Amino acid sequence: MTVADSARKGVLFAMPAACAVLLAGCVSTVGGHPVAGEQTAVTRHIEGALSALLVEPSQFPAQYPAVVLPPEAASQAAGDLTGVGRGARVQPQSCVPPPQQFGADKTAIAVGTDDATRGTITVELTRTEQPLAALRGQLKQCGSVRVSRGAVLTTVTTELDPAPPIDADDTLALRRTVTPDVGGAGLTQTMRTLAGQVGDVRITVTYMSFSDAEPDMTAVDGLFTTAVQRVEKG
């Protein structure tokens, strides 16, 4: 994964005690890497249509043949990624996912499917005026929510993981489980997501599965890096 090199990433170096006393001729190598700061405001617009910035299907790993979704299918897929489909009710109400628009230059989604494991990887770009910090704050308060859609009741649990280091304004990582009240084999949905934001474009890459198999984080990480770099270049 690409490590940040710009001023947006701060690195704190500890100077050995000997160097503090005898600066002349003292050389020290400090390990570690920069990490993303917290994006508290959206201050720049990324030029280019989201459809042009989206990772191309040919850039997915070979075992995940991919397609770009039309707007209607993209709307359905976006609801699957949050565990809250269209028309669903959420408790507590403060945990309703932020409003999302679909159509030209609002949302772009590509999905690749591994037929052997039935696992999918979804790359999503959205235009947003909300900083990633706003989503992070909501997720911290919404570790477990109840979702109802018609007669179907589910519990959506979300846990934040350490944020991935990459050249973006802000990043986060999460794991999510959607568990129906009426359970059974193959009905529980599990997800691992890497998210980043560059200006007013939010990038998410999600591995989704209905099995207990380990998520393919190597593929997720590679696609996330590619997706963020494409947006950053504009």
Q: Is the pLDDT of residue 16 over 90?
A: no
Domain boundaries, the chain: 37-233
Alpha helices in 83-163 (DSSP H): 132-141
Q: Give domain 37-233's CATH architecture.
A: 3-Layer(aba) Sandwich (3.40)
Q: Which of 135, 210, 200, 142 is nearest to 173 (CA)?
A: 135
Q: Which of 231, 41, 232 is nearest to 123 (CA)?
A: 231
Give the CA radius of gyration of the chain: 20
Give the span between the Cα atoms of 124 and 107, in whole angstroms.
7
C-alpha distance across the termini of the chain, in Å? 19
Q: What is the pTM of this model?
A: 0.82
Q: Is the pLDDT of residue 164 over 80?
A: yes
Tell me the pLDDT tens digit for each residue of 179-228: 999 876 678 999 999 999 999 999 999 999 998 889 999 999 999 999 99
Alpha helices in the chain (DSSP H): 17-21, 50-53, 71-82, 132-141, 217-233
CB under 8 Å to 16, separation ≥6 — which residues? 26, 28
CB 224 within 8 A of CB 196: yes
